[in-house]
Amino acid sequence: MQQLVLELAHSPQPTLDNFVVGDNAELMATLMALASGTATEHFVYLWGGFGSGRTHLLAALAQAWQSAGRSVHCFGAESPPKAALVSDGAAVCVDDVESMSDQDQIELFNIFNKLRDSSGFMLVTGGVPPASLSVRPDVLTRLAWGLVYEVRWLNEADRQSAVVEYAQARGLTLSPEVLAYLLLRTPRDLNALRLMVDRLDRLSLAQRRAITVPLVRTLLRSI
């Protein structure tokens, strides 16, 4: 039964449409232009703390590029960059650039140059602004070629709306009492809140109980 519950409870995939914009309107306009291939700037660096949404945006843009038929390459800690794999004019996503080894950064430097010469696109994410990045100087120079955006945290109203919309995407309705209780007792970042909604959904299905404040209490006691 538990395995069936897990199979039924699928989280919505990250998209540009289901990202809660908040104070990130200019950033979103740029990403939409990148997705459509109409951006005048071909390189963008996003930075923000854990849970800010930068990895959501990276995955969403990669999906948008793939849907548009563009050749897409995604690199990160578990998939180191390889310049030889990147085709001319491709779109490249790089997550957590500061976690890359020196050799990986050399490959990334070569990818920057290849994309510049072939009018490709690149989105890079990190946890800190460029001036605070511990990366090779030549990579830092390449990051400065394009636009830099901080992914700004949601205010309280946007944070509440984000949780409600995420729950609705899973077919759930959270009562005002449940929402208030949840927001007061979970971390501020949206990833943690979405994970809590996922867990509530699974627990509700497994125990065949409505999502109420007592069910939230049960979940929090088990974590």
What's the longest Cα–Cα distance across the chain?
59
Given a cut of 80, is residue 136 above it in pLDDT?
A: yes
Residue 75 has pLDDT above 50, yes or no: yes
5-23: average pLDDT: 69
**Domain extent for 162:** 154-222
Query: Are 162 and 20 spatial neighbours (Cβ–Cβ below 8 Å)?
Result: yes
- Cβ-Cβ contacts under 8 Å for 118 (sequence gap 6 or more): 88, 89, 90
Average of per-residue pLDDT across 116-122: 93
Total number of domains in the chain: 2
Residues 136 and 57 in one domain: yes
**CB distance 35 to 16 below 8 Å:** yes
Mean pLDDT of 14-33: 92
Average pLDDT taken over every residue of the chain: 89
What is the CB-side half-sphere exposure of residue 8 using CA atoms within 13 A? Answer: 13
Q: Each residue of 34-73: pLDDT tens digit?
A: 999 899 999 999 999 877 889 899 999 999 999 999 999 9
Are residues 180 and 83 located together in one domain of the fold?
no
Could you report the per-residue pLDDT of 155-186, keeping only the tens digit for each?
888 888 889 988 998 889 999 999 999 988 88
pLDDT of residue 12: 66
As a 3-state breakdown, the chain gives helix, strand, coil percent values, each rounded to 5, of 55, 10, 35
CATH number for the domain harbouring residue 71? 3.40.50.300
Phi and psi at 36, nearest 5°, equal -85, -10
Do 113 and 62 share a structural domain?
Answer: yes
Give the sign of the dihedral formed by CA 29, CA 32, CA 33, CA 34: positive
Residue 184 lies in a domain: yes
Q: Provide, rounded to the nearest whole percent, the portion of the chain with pLDDT above 70.
A: 94
Residue among 207, 205, 223, 218 at smallest CA distance from 178: 218
89 and 196 fall within a common domain: no
What is the pairing mode between strands 72-75 and 147-150? unpaired
Q: Which of 116, 133, 150 is the last residue of a domain?
A: 150
Given 124, 150, 176, the domain boundary residue is 150
